[in-house]
Structure 1
Amino acid sequence: MLVTVEDIRKRFESNPFFLHIGFEIIQFEEGKVTIKLNIEEYLLNVNGTLHGGVHATMLDTILGMVTRSVTKAKVVTTNLTVHYLASISGGEIFAEAKVLQEGHKLAFTEGEIKDTKGNTIAKGIGTFKLIRDERK
């Protein structure tokens, strides 16, 4: 069965974890995915800023989404590196990513999180194992 970009989008939009965190898909096309997060109080750390785990989760999510949009394969994160560049305590943040290189078994992807003014909050790079259906 051929997997479409719309199939992949629907999988994310109905995923309980995706919904629990509060992510919203703004754009979902092959190679071009944008998600948004409204920063809520329950996402803040003891310093009153967005918890680093939320940055990592958002980056892991956007990297996986864009990788799936390009490869049409299920993916598993094998490595994620996050660079925390600025703190934020409220408002909205947006994440985008792009696939740097795609092989048959691995893909390398980079992304970033920005605030509404365009300031970069965090950057990340990930390596993804591609789980392809070899029966095609």
Structure 2
Amino acid sequence: MTTSLAFPVHIPFVQQLGFELIRLDDGEAELRLSVRELHLNSWEVAHGGVLMTLLDVAMAHAARSIHRDQPDFGPGVVTVEMKTSFMRPGEGQLRAVGRLLHRSTTMAFCEGSVLGEDGKLCAHATGTFKYLKALPGRGRSLKALQRTTG
């Protein structure tokens, strides 16, 4: 069994869903999810929103992985755009792989795949992410990235 890694940032929504970070390398990230009842839609398969969130988080971590040598993994990222295609239902143990395709100083262009436990493609996405050091919030005050505490 593969050991999970600590996420480099605190994401309560991802933690609540039960995502596990398996790999975070140079331009790639891999997540795992064991589908439970809370993840299901009315067809009793993983809800499309769960698959999209897996893809979003995998791609975002792939974008950030190139900064792993910087303190706190360097800047954070926010999703600018994402396009997702669904091929088959997500059931059982799912694996999401994100890949950084190209980057500039401020932007990252990524792709991601969710694979079922049989290794078949369930969903695929492309996404554009922006590197940020802080995020303007309500009233335009800056919100800091929530780092994981050691």
TM-score (norm 1): 0.83
Instruction: Please identify which structure carries the higher helix content.
Output: 1
Deviation (angstroms), 1:32: 2.6
TM-score (norm 2): 0.76
Is the counterpart of residue 115 in structure 1 residue 116 in structure 2? yes
Is the counterpart of residue 40 in structure 1 residue 42 in structure 2? no
Q: What is the rounded CA distance, in whole Å, between the counterparts of 2:98 and 2:86 in structure 1? A: 16
Query: 1:82 pairs with 52, 76, 84, which one?
Result: 84
Alignment-derived partner of residue 146 in structure 2: none
Alignment-derived partner of residue 3 in structure 1: none
Alignment-derived partner of residue 28 in structure 1: 24
Deviation (angstroms), 1:132: 5.1
Structure 2: 5+ residue stretches without partners: 1-5, 68-73, 135-150
Give the secondary structure class of the aligned counterpart of 2:61: helix
Q: Is the 8 A contact 2:29 2:59 kept in 1?
A: no
Deviation (angstroms), 1:95: 0.6
RMSD: 1.7
Alignment-derived partner of residue 6 in structure 1: none
Deviation (angstroms), 1:91: 1.2
The 5-angstrom pairing of residues 56-95 of structure 1 reads 56-71=52-67, 72-88=74-90, 90-95=91-96
Structure 1: 5+ residue stretches without partners: 1-8
Q: Against the structure 1 CA distance between its residues 10 and 62, is the aligned structure 2 distance closer, same or farther, given a 3 Å change threshold?
A: closer
Give the secondary structure class of the aligned counterpart of 2:45: coil
Q: What is the rounded CA distance, in whole Å, between the counterparts of 2:130 and 2:124 in structure 1? A: 20
Q: Is the 8 A contact 2:28 2:100 kept in 1?
A: no
Q: Against the structure 1 CA distance between its residues 121 and 10, is the aligned structure 2 distance closer, same or farther, given a 3 Å change threshold?
A: closer
Residue correspondences, number: 123
